[in-house]
Structure 1
Amino acid sequence: MLTGRKQPDMRFDYLRIVGLALLFFVPFLGAVHLFDWNEVHVAECTREMLVTGNFFCPQLNFQLYWETPPLFLWFQAISMKIFGIGEFAARFPNAICGLVTMLVVYRIGYRLHDRGFGWLWVLAWLGSLLPHLYFRSGIVDPWYNLLIFISLYSFIEFRWLFFTRFEGRNFWHRYRYLILGGGVLGLAVLTKGPIAYLIILLTLLAYFARYGFRNKGFMKHLAYYTAAAVAVSLVWYGVEMALHGSSFVQAFLTHQFQLFFADDEGGSGFFGFHVLVLLLGCFPISAFALANLWGDHQSQDEMLESDPLASCKRSDMATWMQFLFWVVLVVFSLMRTKMAHLSSLAYFPLTYLGTLTIWRALRWKVQPRIVGYVLPALGILIGVAGMALPLIGQNIQWLKPLVAGNSFAEARLAIEMDWYWWQGLPGFALVLTTIVAWRYWQRNKAWRAAQTIFTGGAIFVAFTLVFIIGNIEKYTQYSTIEFYESKAGENCSIQPVGFKSYAHLFYSQMCPSKLKQSIGSDSILVHTPAGKKIYFVAKLSDVKHLSGLSNCKELFRKDGLVYYEKVLDAGK
């Protein structure tokens, strides 16, 4: 049991964390294609940077693309320079982010609590479902979230320093955490956009409001913090505004507005969508966090046995994390666009608050009853669902009534697939470890419970990806990606009809061309050099959009999609 009473050499702990990150986050990163469209559109922007040599202005389909600032693209570009353009290189930066995240939370947990808390927080990230999965993806959010969290924690550290050891120091020693934190926030803005500042600002204001807007020096510190963030973000935004004028700002503001009020093509859902995502997707740490989502739950023994300053910092950190969690949940629940990764910043406060529950159970035998109910219920539910996947795959006809009348979905379900009983073993492992962990928890053995359930969660994610994700890809996109790959190097253009996609650009290795096309509901206008082929890919339900296009022949139909070819002769 790790109680933190000894002072071991932290270097060995860091090495163990690096080993765990490399073991769980790196293998099989390139085993399946990038998923369209959240992974692919980022990788395509990076690929176009490498093709054009323009690393300052992101492009998509070789047109200026304002929705994605360049910082993460630069990380991917370095990775693709080392490993080549492909799936592994696109996902590798987030594997490194996973490593850095676990080192950061270990260090913070060790400083605020003890070594045991640091390790529990690391295991919470490693053994919780979506937090683990996102470090094996190629999306922007893991680095974006990490930078926001580091920035906020730097502000928190500054405030603690301000109230304890502020006098008698030079300007840099007094304000370094504030300035560095603001700079890191500027990097977050350069990763995904100005909504990073909005989230931080709302969290700071919520905390400020808790004290009746009477917190000493708060507005002055916020101004310094903001100035540092603006200064760093202007390294890119300022230059772009100078080069492209106000249209640049308008494009970004329009995009942020659409996130709140428009039904984005990526998905929509009900108001409580993110509640379910965080509850189920962040299992098992979500089961432990429920007890700490509001209020100060320090026991009398904890306050009496702890150093007063350390106890105040822990209480304050819990308050900050609670505010961050609720700000993220409320803001993204209000958005009409509902995609699971939007609320992923909540993983930081959720894992901290869940770890706090386990740590208090370990140190002071404080065990909230809710954990004893929610932990087995969610673990068995998710594990049984994992066990059921191969059974459903072997009896796919069970799902056909759910998609009756949808020709595309029916064709997808008709894809022949091999499913085996052993593909459900990760789900069985999760059920087993959940039951064992629950028994340990009921017997006041919190450390063994945490070890068991986080091991089960890590195994479940890792082996589900190995055993099942390939089959999932075959149902969703595999044959389409194969077609795109077959056209790599050919002097052609590919145009999806009726659905949003970027995979055709990435996997056909599209290069700049004079092709300009506009696709509407009634017509397709194409202007392209004579002799060049254009391939159209349409869902069965969208074939009507191609009916008026002359000299266009159908090549084949496969898995719910129809593939067309058009060759423009001279003079046409």
Structure 2
Amino acid sequence: MILSCSIFLLFNKKYLSLKQIIYFILPLIIVSSPWYIFELVHKGPWFMVEFVQYQLELFSQPVAGHKQPLYYHFLVVLIGCIPFSFLGLRNALKDSGSEIIFEKLMRILLWTVLILFTMVSTKIIHYTSMSYIPLSFLAAVETYKIFMGKSLKRVLKIPLVILSSCMGLFIAIILYLLTYKIDTISSFITDSNVKDVLNVELFWYGWEWIIPLILVAANIIWLIRINTNIIKYLASFSILIGLTFALMGHYIVPKIEMAIQGDAIKFYEDISNEKKYITTVGFKSYAHYFYSQIDELDSSDQLYITKSEILNNYFSSSSLNDLNRNEKNKFNGYVLNWLINGKNDRTSYFVTKKSRPIKQLEKSKNLKLVKQTANYQFYKREIK
């Protein structure tokens, strides 16, 4: 936001007085200071330093494992914000002539967010969520102009209808095949892991594939009636799109989630009452922290003692926060090795992706493969 405002002032050759700068900065400090003060008091300055370093790493390297092509965020915003992305497109590229100063700021904010996070090596879908606000405003300006008598350009109307209709048809076909023709899909797939996911038993009502067709129907109605009352049918079009995704979120997305990680969540819940250590190997996840209800370590736990010894012996440090990212990776390797081969005081569990087998786990005589699902493998080490 500060960067966008600075660019706005630079383009408009405006200079702020000291009083205006104070009025701008003071609310930022008031809103954010409780969080910063809390972190400084409880964790010291290391957290702020680590936060800045991590942001720099996100900018320069795909450290979160989400490297995507340059056009990624543009595509996400264009498809994910239908129909506003198309309505706001023209005003995003050139001034609408409204002479609204706030419109200029919104245009600058939109492009600042998109360009900045396109430059960032780590690209995650929610990084450009800040662009939704300016894009909606620019679309609202265009909608008002249409309300005042301007016609919607074919170059925007036709691609909007085609893209959203294709999305609806594609999703409907996929859902129909998953519901009624799962064997047909499996016959074309050679990857055994994907086949295992498809074979996960899910409960389908049988009509879920009709939900995306609401989007197709909305396009047809809007295309036919657009010249009669464009605002009325634009509002109806937007409502039907929202209804489509709301119904998909309720009836379809949970089933997909269950197929992908439902088995892992069930396993975590099954061992939630045990006194154990648990870690993921070869992939990142927070699910096991929540669903398996991991206990907070204290100074009497052997893992706590071992971590302290590793920090002291290998890194001459008393805190994990003093290590850089490479050192933390090495530290995690030492901890994993101890969990597999060391003298444990608790049962230990290791979770890995079936598609990414870990040789260290497979070859260890201390571990037993206790469960294998479509996506995951679960190893267990008993206390000796």
TM-score by length of 2: 0.83
Q: 1:227 to 1:528 in 2, by over 3 A?
A: farther
Equivalent runs, 1:42-57 vs 2, <5 Å: none
Matched ranges for 1:322-337 at <5 A: 322-337=107-122
- Alpha-carbon contact 1:267-1:338 (below 8 Å) kept: yes
In structure 2, C-alpha distance between the alignment counterparts of 1:366 and 1:296, rounded to whole Å: 17
User: Which residue does the alignment assign to 2:317?
Assistant: none
Say if 2:5 is the partner of 1:204.
yes
Q: 1:2-13 counterparts in 2 under 5 A? A: none
2:249 pairs, out of 448, 454, 465, with 465
Does 2:321 match 1:520? no
Query: What is the CA-CA distance between 1:396 and the residue it aligns to?
Result: 4.6
> For the Cα contact (< 8 Å) 2:58–2:64, is it kept in 1?
no
1:535 aligns with 2:349: yes
The aligned counterpart of 1:558 is: 373
SS at match of 2:357: helix
Who is 2:105 aligned against? Answer: 320
Equivalent residue number for residue 392 of structure 1: 177
Per-residue deviation, 1:250: 1.3
Matches within 5 A, 1:221-236: 221-236=20-35
Q: Is 1:285 the equivalent of 2:70?
A: no
Q: CA deviation at 1:404?
A: 4.5
Instruction: Write the distance in 2 (CA, Å) between the matches of 1:463 and 1:225.
Output: 41
Unaligned 5+ runs, structure 2? 308-330
8 Å Cα contact 1:386/1:424 also seen in 2:
yes
| Cα offset, 1:270, TM superposition | 0.2
Query: Retained in 2: the 8 A contact 1:535–1:565?
Result: yes
Amino acid in the other structure paired with 1:288: L
Aligned residues: 351
Partner amino acid, structure 2, of 1:332: F
Identity, in percent, stands at 26
Matched residue, 2:222:
437
TM-score, scaled to structure 1: 0.57
Shift of 1:351: 1.2
Partners of 2:270 and 2:276 in 1: how far apart? 11
| Preserved contact between residue 291 and residue 368 of structure 1 (Cα < 8 Å) | no
- AA matched with 1:247: W
Provide the residue aligned with 2:154 in structure 1: 369
Question: 2:152 is paired with a residue of what secondary structure?
Answer: coil
Q: Match of 2:115, as an amino acid?
A: V
1:351 aligns with 2:351: no
Q: List per-residue Cα deviations over 1:300-330 (Å, max 9, x = no partner).
A: xxxxxxxxxxx64xx2122111111101111
- Which whole-Å CA distance do the structure 1 matches of 2:89 and 2:42 have between them? 49
| In structure 2, distance between residues paired with 1:340 and 1:219 | 38
Within the alignment, does 1:247 sit opposite 2:46 as a pair?
yes
- Is the aligned partner of 1:500 residue 2:284? yes
Deviations 1:49-83 (A, max 9, x none): xxxxxxxxxxxxxxxxxxxxxxxxxxxxxxxxxxx
Preserved contact between residue 493 and residue 510 of structure 1 (Cα < 8 Å): yes
User: Over aligned residue pairs, what C-alpha RMSD do you find?
Assistant: 2.7
CA–CA separation in structure 2 for the residues paired with 1:397 and 1:218:
70
Quote the Cα distance in structure 1 between the aligned partners of 2:104 and 2:287. 43
SS in structure 2 of the partner of residue 535 of structure 1: strand
1:509 maps to 293
Q: Is the 8 A contact 1:497 1:536 kept in 2?
A: yes
Asked if residue 423 in structure 1 is aligned to residue 238 in structure 2, the reply is no
Structure 1 residue 454, shift from structure 2 partner: 1.2
Find the residue that maps to 1:564 and give its secondary structure. Answer: strand
CA distance in 1, matches of 2:188, 2:109: 39
| Among candidates 116, 120, 124, match of residue 339 of structure 1 | 124
Checking the alignment, whether the CA contact within 8 Å between 1:293 and 1:353 is kept in structure 2 is yes
2:164 paired residue among 360, 379, 383: 379
Tell me which residue corresponds to 2:95. 296
Tell me: CA distance 1:452–1:535, structure 2 relative to 1, closer, same or farther (3 Å).
same
Cα deviation, residue 371, structure 1:
2.8
SS in 2 for 1:293: helix
Q: Deviations over 1:256-305 (max 9, x none)?
A: 1122112133522100001110111111221211121132224xxxxxxx
Equivalent residues of 2:9, 2:15 under 8 A apart: no
Q: Give the one of 347, 359, 373 matched to 1:544.
A: 359
How far 1:485 sits from its partner (Å)?
Answer: 0.6
Report the CA distance between 1:464 and its aligned residue. 0.9
Structure 2: how far apart are the matches of 1:402 and 1:216? 64
8 A Cα contact 1:292 1:354, kept in partner: yes
Pairwise CA distance, 1:227: 4.0
CA distance in 2, matches of 1:434, 1:344: 25
- Alpha carbons 2:261, 2:375 under 8 Å: kept: no
**CA deviation profile, 1:180-237 (whole Å, cap 9, x unmatched):** xxxxxxxxxxxxxxxxxxxx122112211222x3x14367523541244234423331
